[in-house]
Amino acid sequence: MFNLILFGPPGSGKGTQSEKLISTYGLKHLSTGDLLRSEIASKTDLGLKAKSFMDAGQLVPDAVVIGMVDAAISANKGVNGFLFDGFPRTKAQAEALDALMQSHATEIHVVLALDVPEEELIQRMIGRAKTSGRSDDADPEVQKKRIAVYRNETLAVADHYKMFNKVVHINGLGTIHEIFSSLCKEIDARK
């Protein structure tokens, strides 16, 4: 089983590249946003807990999110591996994920970090707003705040995995195919 985290700020191309990697390597996509929506729609115990926090305007606690990830891993034992997208977002979540993976006799093998300059990220998100219908993508000030949150909170995840020599920086500029080829080269070197 080969497990990776696709990492990068909003607008770095994670969604586009995730789809291609999942298709090429037969990985199971684990997005905590998708897991939350699925668990809530299925009215599972974890989904009902998550909904109660969300309805109160609170963040879903890490323990609930990790429980959902655990359930997803347990339900997909036969896959080639997992691609984590949008998770972990904090060092505490990364540590919890490592412990969870260890309990399943596996690990995170690589963190592929898409590096894109801030101005390019903002332009991509503004462009995405024209086709996605996400009005929040059209506001450069909103984008700057998202990028600041990423820098202040989420970059700690990369620092955590750097301690284990698992982070590889990928140039996020270029064509979709060029970036994908760079990602594949790093995955193939570790499989």
% of the chain with per-residue pLDDT over 90: 57
% of the chain with per-residue pLDDT over 70: 97
Distance, CA of 66 to CA of 72 (rounded, Å): 10
Structure tokens at 189: 């070197």
Distance, CA of 84 to CA of 93 (rounded, Å): 12
Domain span holding position 176: 4-190
Predicted confidence band at 113 (pLDDT cuts at 50, 70, 90)? very high
What is the average per-residue pLDDT within 123-145?
Answer: 78
Distance, CA of 163 to CA of 125 (rounded, Å): 31
Q: Give the DSSP letter string of the chain.
A: ---EEEE--TTSSHHHHHHHHHHHHTPEEEEHHHHHHHHHHHT-HHHHHHHHHHHTT-PPPHHHHHHHHHHHHHHTTTSS-EEEES---SHHHHHHHHHHHHHTT----EEEEEE--HHHHHHHHHHHHHHH--GGGG-HHHHHHHHHHIIIIIHHHHHHHHTTT-EEEEE--S-HHHHHHHHHHHHHHH-
Distance, CA of 49 to CA of 52 (rounded, Å): 5
Q: Facing residues of 110 across strands?
A: 4
pLDDT of residue 134: 64
What is the average per-residue pLDDT within 148-175?
Answer: 92
pLDDT of residue 56: 81
Q: What is the CATH number of the domain that holds 83?
A: 3.40.50.300
Q: What is the pLDDT of residues 9-51, one digit of tens each?
A: 888 999 899 999 999 999 999 988 788 888 889 999 988 988 8
pLDDT of 178 > 90? The answer is yes
Average pLDDT along the chain: 90
pLDDT of residue 75: 94
Residues recognised as catalytic: 14, 89, 128, 134, 146
> Domains in the chain: how many in total?
1
What is the average per-residue pLDDT within 68-85?
Answer: 94
What is the average per-residue pLDDT within 163-169?
Answer: 96
